[in-house]
Amino acid sequence: MKKVLTIILLFACMSLCGQKGKFVMCNWYTFSDLDPGLPDESYEYFKKGKLFYCLSNDDDNIYVDIKIEDSGVQSRILQEGMTVWLNMDNKKNKKTGVGIHYPIGARFSRDRNIGNPKSPLAQANTIELVGSTGTDVNRFPANNSDNFTGSVRYSQEGNLFYHLAMPLVRLPERLDEDILFALGIEYGAAPVTARPAGTEMPQASSGRSSGGRPGGGSRGGGRPGGAPGGGIPPSGSGTSQATVPPVILWINNIRLAATR
């Protein structure tokens, strides 16, 4: 009996050691066009967040691609925003990480015209950085060519596709294929902090971010019970963000694909 117990403990220890050594390998980024999205086999499903994600990189950037089929999650992301967190210490902790807030969300957008409100998809045109990211500008257009870049769009099937490119040179610490890091995907949270005056650049034109949804983009533009025409529900309404806690999904032990 003692011998059997010893063997069981030995296998348990081997199993724990094997799990501890597991890591998530990024794909090597080879995609030139994201419409209508990456191949289905490229994505992993995050059941808790009801979304599909794909992590990849090349010599210059880390890419986060997300596919959202659930209409409720689509609406929360467009209305309340999403932040991708990078933690270079490989910890599931956004307080010591760097956040890329995109989209900011129609509720918190400065691009709201009272008389002629833009759709939440059209307002997804600005990136806000949280924490030290190696740049003096914390808020800038999402379709710029020399910084963090993002886009959101609908496919013909009604899926929402999210794409974020993070330049390696803009990260506070060097990343290579030998370093493990953690990445968090958070949606439905209020902005972390207001930015100091003078850190904002002019809003971008709609560009790729304003790609319409078939039928006028009504789905995802307004939450259930929201204002007519995809408007933003009034403060204190039954659909207030405060009634639904934010969702944060963490992936750790991520390793970049080797340079080619």
Highest mean pLDDT (candidates 17-31, 92-106, 116-130, 233-247): 92-106
Question: How do residues 121-160 score in pLDDT, each as one tens digit?
Answer: 998 999 999 986 656 668 899 998 888 999 999 999 999 9
Structural domains of the chain, count: 1
11 falls within a domain: no
Average pLDDT over residues 198-216: 40
Question: What is residue 193's predicted lDDT score, i.e. its pLDDT?
Answer: 53
> Does a structural domain hold residue 61?
yes
The predicted-structure confidence for 55-80, as pLDDT tens digits, reads as follows 999 999 999 999 999 999 999 999 99
Instruction: Give the domain CATH number at 77.
Output: 2.60.40
212: in domain: yes
Mean pLDDT of 98-110: 90
pLDDT of residue 252: 95
Res. 235: pLDDT tops 50: no
Is position 1 within any domain?
A: no
Query: pLDDT above 70 covers what percent of the chain?
Result: 65
At 131, is the secondary structure helix, strand, or coil?
coil
Q: Is residue 159 part of a domain?
A: yes
User: Which tops the pLDDT comparison, 200 or 41?
Assistant: 41
220-223: list long-range contacts, CB under 8 Å, 24+ apart. Answer: 220/71, 220/74, 220/75, 220/78, 220/120, 220/121, 220/154, 220/160, 221/75, 221/78, 221/119, 221/120, 221/121, 222/75, 222/120, 223/75, 223/76, 223/79
pLDDT at 162: 96
- Whether 4 maps to a domain, the answer reads no
Owning domain of residue 164: 22-255
> Which residue bears the tokens 């099937």?
157
Closest CA to 132 of 96, 89, 91: 96
